[in-house]
Structure 1
Amino acid sequence: MHTEQLVARAVAPVLEIIDDIKPDRLDAPTPCAEFDVRRLIRHLLFWGPSLEAAARKELVTPAGAEAETDLDDWQARLTAQLERTASAWSAPDAWTGVTRLGSPQEMPAGVIGGMTVGEMLVHGWDLATGVGRRVEWDDDVLAFVHHDLLGSAEMGREMGLFGPEVPVPADAPLLDRILGLTGRKA
């Protein structure tokens, strides 16, 4: 599979649940200890433009505070943002060279692309779980994220992005192993 397809394939299952999220579920907890459904939606809306811009080698610095992100018409806005992010990362040159994510510091574009795929999958699962939905990704996306996390999860824990690793049997489904690496229980 070409990397250009990864973000779109990670986003597709998330798009399927957005319109089903009812207002009474916005305060529901998610497996991500920092976020209830409402805060997770704000997080995705807040960082979405930066993830999208990174694919185009542009710098968008998030303005304001994540907690202040407006939730008016959030379903249409989140759908549009996820689609734009997937489209931006589908360009072949998105994954080459260097780019930035919300700061002037340059990083390899492939690293930020991998982070974007992981963000979509893990927070997509958090969102689905928070509203009582089941979500599935294809094996290629799962394999990519798992491989990426094997090399970066420890750094993510050091940065406070992930909780302590949750032990998962080596023969557990790939999604369960991904979630364990990020400190989540399937």
Structure 2
Amino acid sequence: MTTHPAYQDPRPAYTRATGQAAALIRTVRPEQLDGPTPCAAFDVRDLLSHIVGGTRRIAVIGEGGDGLAVHPFAEGVGDAEWASAYEEVRTRVLKAWEPDERMASSVRVPWGEVPGHTALSGYVMEIVTHTWDLSEGLGHPLPLDPELAGFALTTARALLPDSRPRDAQTPFDARREAPAGAGVYEQLAAWMGRTPLTRD
């Protein structure tokens, strides 16, 4: 009989994290789409494109396909269609990762070949971080779930080195120091190299 090391099933956290992202995306107003985000190269529209396209990539990985062949940005989505586009791909990705065998099977992701549970934990980290990015860009219209940030921060500390270059394998900037008394989202943002937006 083959046994596998114990791991925390990331599927409940991923389901909650995508639900949180979906709720936030539904608040986006047309005049906000050109606004900045903590991802210096992305405005709000670009970030939405990456969230939708990246989630499509994760869905294909969960379905057993070559997710790396999927462009991590969505094309052809109209400005009024971001919420429906994300809801569609969110439904697909959750279905793709439902089977228990996906947790132990090996999958190929941008940072290497890893067990499914490790891959999906990494994608919890990604969607929670990008949800914070989007929330910053939108002026924090909704409260964010601190438990999700805690899961993402634990994953980030396990998967991302304390000091790392920004490259294809680790597409996040070098870790920053979180300010004293920072909340869990601020700690996550700092670990991922984010700087909160400065507002007038």
Asked if TM exceeds 0.5, the reply is yes
Aligned CA distance change for structure 1 residues 96 and 156 (closer, same or farther; 3 Å):
farther
Specify the code of the residue in structure 2 equivalent to 1:148: T
Unaligned runs of 5+ in 1: none
Aligned-residue offset at 1:146: 1.3
Contact 1:18 1:79 in 2 (8 A): no
1:111 matched to 2:136? The reply is no
Q: What's the counterpart of residue 180 of structure 1?
A: 190
Question: Which protein is richer in helix relative to its size?
Answer: 1
Q: Post-superposition shift, 1:156?
A: 8.7
Structure 1 residues 20 and 32, CA, compared in 2 at 3 Å: closer, same or farther? same
**Secondary structure in 2 matching 1:13:** helix
Alpha-carbon offset, residue 138 of structure 1: 4.4
Question: Among residues 144, 151, 158, which one is paired with 1:136 in the alignment?
Answer: 144
Measure, in 2, the Cα distance between the counterparts of 1:142 and 1:47: 19
Tell me which structure has the larger Cα radius of gyration. 2
Larger relative CO (CA 8 A, sep 6+): 1 or 2?
1
Partners of 2:106 and 2:162 in 1: CA distance = 20
Are the structure 2 counterparts of residues 156 and 119 from structure 1 closer, same or farther at C-alpha, using a change threshold of 3 Å? Answer: farther
TM score, norm. by length of structure 1: 0.83
Please report the TM-score for the alignment, with normalisation by the length of structure 2.
Answer: 0.78
Percent identity at matched positions?
22
- CA gap of 1:129–1:50, structure 2 versus 1, over 3 A, is same
Aligned length: 182
Displacement of 1:23 in angstroms is 1.1
- Are 2:89 and 1:81 aligned? yes
Q: Does structure 2 retain, via aligned residues, the 8 Å contact 1:165–1:182?
A: yes
Q: Structure 1 segments of 4 or more deviating over 3 A?
A: 169-172
SS of residue matched to 1:154: coil
Unaligned runs of 5+ in 2: 1-7
